[in-house]
Amino acid sequence: MMAQYHRLNAVVLFKFRKTGSIWEETTKGIDFTKKTGHRGMLQIIYCMRLMHSINSDDLESARSDMKEIEKLMPPLKKIKIWYSTYFLAKAYLLTEDFRRNPEDRKLERDLFSTCRSAIKHSRFVPNNLIESHRMMGNALWMAGKKKKALIHYRLSIEAAEKVNGRLELSRACFELGKRLSSNGIAHKVNGISGPGYLDKARLLFTEMKLTYDLAELERFTNR
């Protein structure tokens, strides 16, 4: 079924950060899937394109896709994976909004609530659960709640190790490594320091040939 192909293709392209082709391929998938009536698959493709737009600093396109995603939500109340992906995509969007408006307390509350919903609806969607805890860690850290943030980074790593989710494990290690290595924080999580987590992330990125993530790591270490 071609709609299923486009959904899976969108997920793979986003998860592996294939930035050169994801916009064209997801747009092609959206155009095709709109004609099929597969609203759930269409919503997931939109979510992947939205998260790619956030990573590409294209907030306008992300906001446009969120409007389309929310039009597709009402019939999907019983489908956990679709709600899980929706809340994760919304967390991406609100995180970027909060990064630009760190004094907005309502936005902060909305971000925390969305991350909690992403975690709740991802209980049976392992990769999304790993990423949802990471996003909550990011949100808490941005808000200055660093001890709570460390708890969620640890939960992200534990969830990844439980299912051998090396892709999202690598990114959880990177985020935690960045946090522990910044601002002179002399702290370890599970006995590993910030540089230790960065080394672990680098090894995983290299093994999986994640060129986008390696470039992000190099940008951080050479800042």
What is the 3-class SS of the chain, one letter each residue? CHHHHHHHHHHHHHHCCCCCCHHHHHHHHHHHHHCCCCHHHHHHHHHHHHHHHHHCCCHHHHHHHHHHHHHCCHHHCCCHHHHHHHHHHHHHHHHHHHHHCCCCHHHHHHHHHHHHHHHHHCCCCHHHHHHHHHHHHHHHHHCCCHHHHHHHHHHHHHHHHHCCCHHHHHHHHHHHHHHHHCCCCCCCECCECHHHHHHHHHHHHHHCCCHHHHHHHHHHHCC
> What is the pLDDT, as a whole number, of residue 176?
97
Residues of the chain under the 70 pLDDT cut: 74-80, 183-186
pTM here is: 0.95
> What is the pLDDT, as a whole number, of residue 1?
80
> What is the pLDDT, as a whole number, of residue 223?
83
In angstroms, rounded to a whole number, what is the distance separating the alpha carbons of residues 150 and 139?
11
Residues 6+ apart with CB under 8 A from 77: 83
In order of 2, 31, 56, 126, 179, the CA distances from 19 in angstroms are 22, 19, 8, 24, 25
* Cβ count within 10 A of residue 69: 23
> What is the pLDDT, as a whole number, of residue 25?
97
